[in-house]
Amino acid sequence: MERLTKRNRAGINAVGAAGEIVDRLAKYEDLGLTSQEIREKLRKLAWYEAKFGHRQAQRWDQIAAAEDEGRLVLLTCKVGDNVYQEYAGQVYESTITRIIIRQNAPILYDTDRGFAFNDRAIGRSVFLNRWEAERALEGK
């Protein structure tokens, strides 16, 4: 990246167009980070890239950006996973067929048995393995 300023004995002189300088400064300020925090993030990114490679470091950066922008959703399970529901003294196995993500609403997991559940049901009436479902059934 080409510098927009140059240091001289008297201080710093602008060498780029004023609009471009202001735009870069605004982007820096939009981060809401101090220069020390930015340097620390760059050190961590360089370490991560050295350890895992450039592509993985880029992926990590994308995930971090998505989280910062509120676009990151962590799912408890995925389409194709089996879940176990305790109902009327029996444990029923179902497969997740669809995940419904709506704005300002819990994520819904739809199953091949025609029931849907959200994350709050996991560990209460829906379980991620048969053993937990049978254990919950024994406890009732």
On whether residue 73 sits in a domain, the answer given is no
pTM > 0.95: no
The answer to whether residue 120 is domain-embedded is: yes
- Mean pLDDT to the nearest integer, 122-129: 92
- Domain count along the chain: 2
Question: Do 56 and 86 fall into the same domain?
Answer: no
Collapsed DSSP state (helix, strand, coil) of residue 82: strand
Residue 85 has pLDDT above 80, yes or no: yes
Say if 76 falls within a structural domain. no
In terms of domains, do 54 and 88 share one? no
Task: From residue 114, give the alpha-carbon distance in Å to each of 12, 45, 121, 126, 127.
Answer: 67, 45, 15, 14, 16
Domain containing 54: what range?
5-68
Same domain, 27 and 53: yes
pLDDT band, residue 50 (cuts 50/70/90) = confident
pLDDT band with cut points at 50, 70 and 90 for residue 16: low
CA distance 110 to 99: 6
Statement: residue 111 has pLDDT above 80: yes
